[in-house]
Amino acid sequence: MIKAILIFNNHGKPRLIRFYQYFAEDMQQQIIRETFHLVSKRDDNVCNFLEGGRRLIYRHYATLYFVFCVDSSESELGILDLIQVFVETLDKCFENVCELDLIFHMDKVHYILQEVVMGGMVLETNMNEIGGLSAAPARAVSAVKNMNLPEIPRNINIGDINIKVPSLSPLRPLRVLLCPPESDMGKVYYVSKNVGLGMLVLATIALATIIALSIAYDKERAKNRGKPENGATDSTSTPTPLTTSSTPKEPWDHYRLPDSLVPVSYNVTLWPRLEPDADGMYLFTGYSAVIFSCVKETDLIIIHSNKLNLSNFEGHHAKLSGLGDATAPNIQKTWLVVKTHFLVLQLRSALAVGASYVLYTEFQGELADDLEGFYRSEYTEDGVKKVVATSQMQATYARKTFPCFDEPAMKAVFNVTIFHDRGTVALSNGRETGTADSVIDGVPLRVTTFEPTERMSTYLLAFIVSDFVKIQSTQNNNLMIRIWARRKAIEEGQGDYALNVTGPILQFYEHYYNATYPLSKSDQIALPDFNAGAMENWGLVTYRETALLYDPIMSSTGNKERITTVIAHELAHMWFGNLVTLQWWNDLWLNEGFASYVEYLGADYAEPTWNIKDQIILSDVHKVFAVDALASSHPLSRREEEVNTPAQISEMFNTISYSKGAAVLRMLSEFLTEPVFAKGLSSYLNTFAFGNTVYTDLWDHLQQAVKNTPGMHIPHTVHNIMNRWTLQMGFPVVTIDTRTGSITQKHFLLDPDSVVDRPSQFKYESTGVEQQQHWLLQKTDAHIQMRVSGEDWVLANTNVSGYFRVNYDLDNWDRLLSLLSTNHQALSIINRAQIIDDAFNLARAKIINTTLALRTTKYLSKERDYIPWESALRNLDYYILMFDRTEVYGALQSYLKKQIQPLFEYFKTVTANWTKVPTGHTDQYNQINAIGMACSTGVDGCRELIKSWYRQWMESPHSNPIHPNLKSTVYCSALAFGGVEEWDFAWRMFKNATLASEALRLRSAMACTKAPWLLNRYLEYTLDPTKIRKQDATSTIQYIARNVVGMPLAWNFVRARWSYIFQHYGRGSFSFSNLVNGITKRFSTEFELQELKKFKEDNLHVGFGSATLALEQAIEKTSANIKWVTENKAHVLKWFTEEST
């Protein structure tokens, strides 16, 4: 990536430009190799100088920043000349400079330069603190200091084009886009004008405090290929809509691969260096030969390659040869396109259709600790730093490991060889077929080869070199199952549980899918640094340690459940996703939704006593209802052409895809019945094995299964029914009037005043499923069985299998509430939870009143089951968040205290005065609720209990008396009621924790303290990777924001350092949007809304990446909160006051 920053002075007439060249490798450690140069206009040395930097990039895989400072004292040119010189220079020397920041104001030079560098995302600290960085920044500072400082120009004229400069904050750069903008910037209009350096295009973004000046320019390559310079000298001042002018001209400017070449197989050899080189860099080298066939005539080879330094063969980046009789055309030239991650080969003649060729590359890449592609993970064992080379290819990182056709439909067979240090073990997707000692380049090595993979997608590849050890078992069909982890973890038996459940879960799926496991081995490996929870690489599944390792003494029931469900989720993908793969990322929801649904089936098979299938209500259905009820939601399914760039792809990994996908597939399975669903699934998997599909292929096979099942009838095709759920966003609320039997439905919106601007071809008239398979096909319907009177009640959506909410007439609500208070067990556990959740949300949407919702919690003093309690606490949590800074909080607390007290006493009895563990799986969870809520509301005996446990632990750190199930709650409460002594003890225990889940509990609990200075100190720790691991930074900030004292501190912290956080921590898609969600959760005042909007505005130039949607949602939610608090505060205060006495 190349970014340019121009700091300039329009006051004088600049003649000389100082070029500062920075580049940074990992953002942790900046290295400045070359910094200062003085060149005059149109000096050829400019390119040489810049090219020098570019070569360094390729050597060091860095992001390159050019900082151009204009020295006004010697200048002769005006500002426009300056822009021209600058753009010409970039144009002449580069293809890939896409962004240019112009910094106008020079008022506080020292600070600005710091900000420049911040804006360019190089450094975050102030210049004085960058002691280790050679003299270069200091020289840059003093050079800028010596300039005459200009006024900010308000208007810039280039030819006929006038650019109005907004009243820029001196610290905010004006961004100039030098590449055609993304096609999704719908509000951009162009004015084009020939001003002698190609075509200048001015774009104004409607909302913007930014003016984007886009410069489209003809590429030399096009000329070389004999294409006319279309429009390059045409001038027009007519505004042209973006859609017509921004279509990329060249195949390599598109993000998608052309359809002319298809890979067949690869031979890939990789050699990761687990020791740094002389420059302190961790590298890997490798070579790859890909056999591909030509299916459409072309004289171009376009293949993905990103951040790889490719070796030169006679001036080209690759070698091409023909396979069999085919003769390879000569290569005319090769080049890299940084923006679209392509290596392009222009051939002198066309490839022959039907012929196959071999493309050979040699490359070097950085084994960075960026958690992307082939990367480096570090951990300490017995005081010794260890390095692991591991990988994460999904979605677009295989191209960062070796040149490849990196799209899911480009399946191929991979023959993998890994060179690695003796004493380490190499793993990949296939079983190891041989290992041999060798000496390469004078280095004694071990060479491991692997069996060829099945035909598979690049995003499922995995390569790992470590000194991990394993435990293993063999299934009856000779399937080898292994669990890999750090030696210590394995020796402590932490892999045993995973090994015990992996086999049964695989067997379950073989039966469920009616298809044998397609590979000869199943490896699961626990990694110290891992961005996602786990990744379903085919045959070599990678996990965070907390998602795989279970310590029978130290881990809680919740840890165990997570391990079971994550393994079940990943193994479900071995067939659904890996064997049969969706064509493109727009259908990600089907892949992830499916695995998120059947993980409950797999886990239930492994742990039948847990009733885990019920928990989908809490973990997915209710969770996604909250998001999908917003006007900013989006449909599950997107059109293929809407998802192109890596950023768009990574945005697909969201709650809607996972949890709504799971919820609607569960609904589908329930109304088709599980045997029919499984039958359709099996025929789908068998038909498309080793191939690719689109989501409608699954509907076809399910429809076929319906057809082949005697007596099975559904009122519409699977297509028609499911389209209503996948092509329109949101879900309905079904209203049943038991006085008349009428049933109506409408789109449920949490904020009834919100406006849905996303069109739906169905106008949100969804086809819902109703109780006992009553099909609701229209917006309104009547059903005689729904008409009841007297004591009779109606409860719809039994088993909560439908993806919708239910409302009733008031009489029926009253009857349901009275049933709850007299005999709540007449309703199933999940229906009790559903009544609470529906009522609270209907009240939020102003469909019923708030006190009706609150009344659903009155029976809780008799409730002992977990799921209804959890549902209530999550809903009441909203009241706590909205009111814990107001006078309502006192009454709310007394009410909760009254309701929780019986549960607390119940568990005290069940556990024989807290000495035993409750037997039921979910009872163990509810005990945690009881203690947590009892302590926070001040139930007698709770705080004393917690304090004494924690005190005992502090006195003898090696024998912790707190049961693992209760640790999170106890630690949090103890720290909330404790001071620095308790905190520092927790920190010491955190640093010494050998079990990841124990570290996680402590990390979360340390955010519970009420002392602002401890919270601020902790916030500082989050951005120091020696204190808090990079993968944990954003979640730690979120924990702090969860605390009423920590929230404003975290918000200030994040605002002040957004560009740094974004650059360094913005990659994990979930964690990053969670950060924004977490911090803004409590926002409920006009002032906070304004702050949020200003935050968005101020950071448009930095961007929000995968948090973009979350930020929009935060603004929407804050507005809704403001309204809700205004309307409800008085009623709520009154109700809690009355009910708490």
Binding-site residue set: 569, 573, 592
Separation of alpha carbons 535 and 566, rounded Å: 10
Residue with tokens 């009241």: 879
CA distance linking residue 613 with residue 620, whole number of Å: 11
Please, which residue, 124 or 592, has the CB nearer to Zn ion? 592
Nearer to Zn ion, 570 or 781 (CB): 570
As measured in angstroms, the least distance from the Cβ of 594 to Zn ion is: 9
Closest to Zn ion by CB, 657 vs 771, is: 657
Q: Considering the complex, what minimum distance in angstroms separates the CB of residue 895 from Zn ion?
A: 40
Question: Tokens 């002032």 — which residue?
Answer: 1087
Question: Based on CB atoms, which residue is closest to Zn ion, 551 or 592?
Answer: 592
Cβ 654 to Zn ion, closest distance in Å? 13
C-beta of 128: minimal distance to Zn ion in Å?
46
Task: Count residues near Zn ion (CB under 5 A).
Answer: 2
**Contact call for residues 462 and 393 (beta carbons, < 8 A):** yes
CA distance 989 to 995: 11
Span 595-614, contacts to Zn ion by CB under 5 A: 595
Q: Least distance to Zn ion from the beta carbon of 1031, Å? A: 18
Instruction: Considering only residues 578 through 597, tell me which ones interact with Zn ion, judged by CB under 5 A.
Output: 592, 595
Q: What is the DSSP string of 695-748?
A: HHHHHHHHHHHHHTSTT---SS-HHHHHHHHHSS-S-EEEEEETTTTEEEEEE-
> Taking Cα atoms as reference points, which of 1073, 1078, 1071 lies closest to residue 544?
1071
Query: Can you tell me which residue has the tokens 């705080």?
Result: 943
Side chain identity at residue 220, one-letter code:
E
Q: Which long-range contacts (CB under 8 A, 24 or more apart) does 781-788 make?
A: 781/742, 781/743, 781/744, 782/740, 782/741, 782/742, 782/743, 783/741, 783/743, 784/741, 785/741, 786/736, 786/737, 786/738, 786/741, 786/742, 786/743, 787/738, 787/739, 787/740, 787/741, 788/738, 788/812
Closest distance to Zn ion from the beta carbon of 399 (Å): 21
The count of C-alpha atoms lying within 13 angstroms of the C-alpha of 885, restricted to the half-sphere facing its C-beta, is 13
Contact characters 994-1023, Zn ion, x per CB under 5 A? ------------------------------
Please list, in sequence order, all residues whose beta carbon lies within 8 angstroms of the beta carbon of residue 796, skipping any fewer than 6 positions away.
Answer: 734, 736, 770, 771, 806, 808
Which one is catalytic: 25, 124, 570, 599?
Answer: 570
* Cβ proximity of 939 and 972 under 8 Å: no
Residue with Cβ nearer Zn ion (546 or 807): 546
393 scored as a contact of Zn ion (CB under 5 A): no
Name the residue with the smallest CB distance to Zn ion.
595
Least CB distance from residue 625 to Zn ion, whole Å?
21
- What is the H or E stretch that residue 389 is in? strand 384-392
DSSP string, 856-891: TTGGGGG---HHHHHHHHHHHHHHHHHHTTSTHHHH
CB 1116 within 8 A of CB 1089: no
Closest CB 563 distance from Zn ion, rounded Å:
15
**Interface with Zn ion, residue 572, by CB under 5 A:** no
- Helix 1108-1139 vs helix 1086-1098: angle between axes, to the nearest 10 degrees? 170
DSSP-derived secondary structure for 611-622: -GGGGHIIIIII
Nearer to Zn ion, 534 or 668 (CB): 534
Annotated binding residues for Zn(2+), written as ranges, equal 569, 573, 592
| Closest separation in Å from C-beta 483 to Zn ion | 19
Residue 205 phi, psi (nearest 5): -90, 130
- In this structure, what are the phi and psi dihedrals at residue 818, rounded to the nearest 5 degrees? -75, -35
In the complex, the smallest distance separating the C-beta of residue 582 from Zn ion, rounded to whole angstroms, is: 12
Please, are residues 414 and 266 in contact by the beta-carbon 8 Å criterion? Answer: yes
> Which residue, 402 or 512, has its beta carbon nearer to Zn ion?
512
Sheet holding 732-737, edge to edge: 780-782, 742-747, 732-737, 805-808
Instruction: Give Cα separations from 368 to 23, 45, 153, 280, 363 (angstroms).
Output: 15, 32, 42, 11, 15
Provide the residue count of the chain: 1141
Q: Is 567 in the site for Zn ion (CB under 5 A)?
A: no
Residue partners of 935: CB distance under 8 A and separation at least 6: 942, 943, 946, 969, 973
Q: How far is the CB of 606 from Zn ion (least distance, A)?
A: 18
Instruction: Please say whether the dihedral angle defined by the alpha carbons of residues 459, 460, 461 and 466, taken in this order, is positive or negative.
Output: positive
To Zn ion, the closest distance from the beta carbon of 533 in angstroms equals: 9
User: In whole angstroms, what is the distance from residue 860 CA to residue 819 CA?
Assistant: 13
Contact between 573 and 591 under an 8 Å Cβ cutoff? The reply is yes
CA dist., res. 614 & res. 603, Å (int): 12
Tell me whether residue 93 or residue 460 sits nearer to Zn ion (CB atom): 460
213 binds Zn ion (CB under 5 A): no
Residue 972 to residue 954: CA distance in whole angstroms: 15
Instruction: Please confirm, yes or no, whether 454 is among the known catalytic residues.
Output: no
Are β-strands 188-194 and 155-158 bridged in parallel, bridged antiparallel, or unpaired? Answer: unpaired
CB nearer to Zn ion: give 445 or 595: 595
Between residues 121 and 662, which has the closer beta carbon with respect to Zn ion? Answer: 662
Q: Which is nearer to Zn ion, 457 or 745 (CB)?
A: 457
Q: How far apart are CA 692 and CA 590, in angstroms?
A: 13
Handedness of CA 164, 169, 173, 175 (dihedral sign): negative
Task: In whole angstroms, give the CA distance from residue 693 to residue 585.
Answer: 11
Q: Is the Cβ of residue 397 or residue 1136 nearer to Zn ion in the bound state? A: 397
Beta pairing, strands 309-310 & 240-241: unpaired
Catalytic site positions: 570
Q: Which residues bind Zn ion (CB under 5 A)?
A: 592, 595
